[in-house]
Structure 1
Amino acid sequence: MATAGEDTRSADGELLALLVAGGDLRSFLGDLVQLAARQVRHAEACGLTLTRDGSGVTVASTGPLADRADERQYEVDAGPCLESMRTGSVVRVGDMATEERWSPYPARAAQLGVRSSLSLPLVVEGRSSGALNLYATEPEAFSGEDEATAAGWAEQATGALAVALRIADSDSRAESLLGGLDTRATIGQAVGLLMAQERCTADQAFGLLRIASQRRNIKLRDVAAGIVSAFEQELADRSGRW
């Protein structure tokens, strides 16, 4: 049986694969919540909440159960995912049927079939930016092992999310300046290569790209393209020697 640490390393590898795949931000976030639901053993649904105007908005989910459970919280502006997002703490609910916090949310969640939940804060660049919300239809579904796995995974997901949001921002500027040039794939590939070479997180790899861009006074996408090009040339040289 895989340990929590092994599960986290596996998740990190899958997050790296998502980053280098080159899809748009919406696709990345959709894949991210699907991966979260697979990694946490007893999770049946997952939603990703990001902060907006003091409340939250679900930007990706595994399906209707997570969507509705999130929405019931936004309707009353109270609930475990909002508390996790606002306080930066992990919030676990053992049984919505007996939960007394955030009334009337727990009763509304139970009506949907949600009996337990686990919410983990996503802290991007030093500030709370959202929460990852895991749901189950059984009471007391989430064990301490589930929480440890989810916490370790959320830490990796936070770094990947920070990079994805920055890449999306780079894409937006590139579209306005260069008539639709898509740079996400190249930057994502460069981040992946640096993670492998330097044995660092996605956020640290993006920081290395940014530092190189500033020091050399060239655009971030050009630094990324240079890293990818050098790697491809190295592969070609090795193939030639073989």
Structure 2
Amino acid sequence: MVVKLPLADELAAIFARASELLLTDETVSRALELITAAAEAAVPGVAGAGVTLIDAEGRKHTASASNTLVELADSRQYNLGQGPCLLAWAGGEPVLVSDVRNDRRWPEWARAATELGLRSSVSAPLLAGESALGAVKLYARNENSFSSGTVRLLELFAAQATIFLINAQARESARTISEDLRDALAHREIIAVAKGILMARHGLDEDTAMQDLLMESRRAKRSLRDISAELVSSTQLPR
């Protein structure tokens, strides 16, 4: 599918409107709702759009969703501990799924998405420096609904959403954003080390190692950071 990127002035108008919200007493939720609606409207044939936020403890929630279908698809990812949105957050890179029925990275989530009538998705991380605060995603009912052009467009929305989050958190939270980012960065560093251990120990690729950590986090009902830290601390370096 070929996606025509919105003109620069069209994107500027969308972002300016969202910026106006943050200059008033509107909450971060309202700003994310605007970003979600704009992302959905920018790509033809989208079944839904949403924003997932993930804190330093690995707790996940859908901060904005254009409809119930998005909430259901997201909840399947959270419950299963696997899926494209989670990988985009963990890996810090966009994740494109052309056809969930042929994607072997998340077999359980693929089955759940298929049952919901979804066939494709694209997710982009909310990057704040070297850390990620979550991800914005689009779902579609048809396969091959998204292209590299969609990925670039979604990255623009993700970048703007991150700016709004940082600004809003600075206004609404007693904690400073620098503390949040330090926690998030430390979180990502320990996860990266844990992934490296699994990759070296079992000959896994990076995506599979991340999925193993997520599955163990879900099974043990513990945060991803705690699972990663335990693995790192229990690993003995060769003498």
TM-score normalized by structure 1? 0.64
Shift of 1:134: 0.9
Asked if 2 retains the 8 angstrom alpha-carbon contact of 1:18 and 1:31, the reply is no
What's the counterpart of residue 42 of structure 2? 39
Aligned-pair RMSD on alpha carbons? 2.3
Asked if 1 retains the 8 angstrom alpha-carbon contact of 2:124 and 2:135, the reply is yes
- Equivalence map 1:3-82=2 (5 Å): 3=6, 5-52=8-55, 53-82=57-86
The worse-fitting range, judged by mean Cα deviation, of 65-74 and 16-25 is 16-25
> Out of 95, 99, 114, which is 2:118 matched to?
114
Paired residue type of 1:14: R
Q: Deviations over 1:212-239 (max 9, x none)?
A: xxxxxxxxxxxxxxxxxxxxxxxxxxxx
Shift of 1:57: 1.5
Q: Deviations over 1:18-72 (max 9, x none)?
A: 3234322333322332222123344331121111322521121111111001011
Asked if 2 retains the 8 angstrom alpha-carbon contact of 1:8 and 1:149, the reply is no
Residue 70 to residue 2, structure 1, CA distance change in 2 (3 Å): closer
Identity of aligned residues (%): 28
Instruction: Tell me, in whole angstroms, the C-alpha distance in 1 between the residues paired with 2:29 and 2:140.
Output: 24
Secondary structure (helix, strand or coil) at the match of 2:102 reads coil
Is 1:88 the counterpart of 2:92? The answer is yes
Is 1:131 the counterpart of 2:127? The answer is no
Instruction: Tell me, in whole angstroms, the C-alpha distance in 2 between the residues paired with 1:31 and 1:21.
Output: 15
> Out of 154, 161, 167, which is 1:163 matched to?
167
Q: Could you list the runs of 5+ residues in structure 1 that have no partner in the other structure?
A: 174-242
Instruction: Tell me, in whole angstroms, the C-alpha distance in 1 between the residues paired with 2:170 and 2:39.
Output: 21
Is 1:142 the counterpart of 2:146? The answer is yes
Shift of 1:2: 6.5
Instruction: Tell me, in whole angstroms, the C-alpha distance in 1 between the residues paired with 2:91 and 2:170.
Output: 24
Q: Deviations over 1:56-93 (max 9, x none)?
A: 21121111111001011111101000000111000010
What's the counterpart of residue 217 of structure 2? none
Q: Deviations over 1:125-163 (max 9, x none)?
A: 541110001111111101222222111222122112211
Secondary structure (helix, strand or coil) at the match of 1:114 reads coil
Pick the structure with greater CA Rg.
Answer: 1
Shift of 1:114: 1.1
